[in-house]
Amino acid sequence: MLIRVGFDIQFDIPSPVAMVALLHVHPTRQADLREPDEPRITPGVPIKEYMDSFGNVCSLFVAPTGRLRLCNSTLIEDSGEPDLTCPRAAQVPVENLPPEALRYLLPSRYCEVDRLVEVAGTLFGSSQLGWPRVQAVCDWVAANVSFGYQFASPTKTAVDVYADRKGVCRDFQHLAITFCRCLNIPARYATGYLGDIGVPLRPPMDFSAWFEVFLEDRWWTFDARNNTPRIGRVLMATGRDAADVAITTSFGTSLLRHFTVVTEEVTTAKAATAE
């Protein structure tokens, strides 16, 4: 399966401001790219690319005064298979976890593990360890939190979501991540493209959030919002929570004026025409 992914994001910049952007497909998907993954910034400015401590490709630049445009379009090959599942995947005792997984057990900006430990124990303490426990978390979040774009807030944390039971995609993941960490299951936030492939269309298109947990010897994909294996996820970045993987971070004032995201299955003929 071939998937066209891309974005067009525009800002008004009142005065020059430093920005960091996570615009690239994640390095783990580089081998699947069938076109160059080359985000463009207009007007042209010097860009310093680097890899952050989570393994994400970042772009640092200074946006000049005026209209700033960030855009990209690339083609990626995907298996066309739903997210992998492994109901028998076992939970790893904390003392046996790889050191790099340990930070995904700790509290972070949007995931207040210390404040929800007792709640998690009450809700999930009797569930079967490993995969079934993570699935129980997703089932509970999906059943008890209502989705709505009107509920979006950049300051909403897992505790807030648990209290008011409303949120957007990232809020579902933050609450599930927090519960998993409370239960000693390493969990990290993930963001990227997820089109409506194999499911009814739900416009408008946006970047999507999901989460990953460490069971047995690898990271597995879970999604507390959709709560079903999906086709065509294209990872861009992972981190402790949304604060680590913002598509853009401005160290000063930037005013968002336009935002579109594209992720759709294309035929080989259409892909050839685009080239």
Q: Structural domains in the chain?
A: 2-80+247-267 (2.60.40.2250), 94-243 (3.10.620.30)
pLDDT computed for residue 271 by the predictor: 55
| pTM, rounded to two decimals | 0.94
> Residue 204 has what pLDDT?
77
Residues of the chain with pLDDT under 50: 269, 275
DSSP calls for the chain: -EEEEEEEEEEEESS-EEEEE--SPPGGGGGGBSS----EEES----EEEE-TTS-EEEEEEEPSEEEEEEEEEEEE---PBPP--TTPPPPPGGGS-GGGGGGGS-BTTB-HHHHHHHHHHHHTTSPSSHHHHHHHHHHHHHH-EE-GGG--TT--HHHHHHH-EE-HHHHHHHHHHHHHHTT--EEEEEEEE--SSS---SSP--EEEEEEEETTEEEEE-TTT-S--B-EEEEEEESSGGGS-SEEESS--EEEEEEEEEEEE-HHHHHHH-
Report pLDDT for 272.
53
Whole-number pLDDT of residue 201? 80
Please give the pLDDT value at position 205. Answer: 83
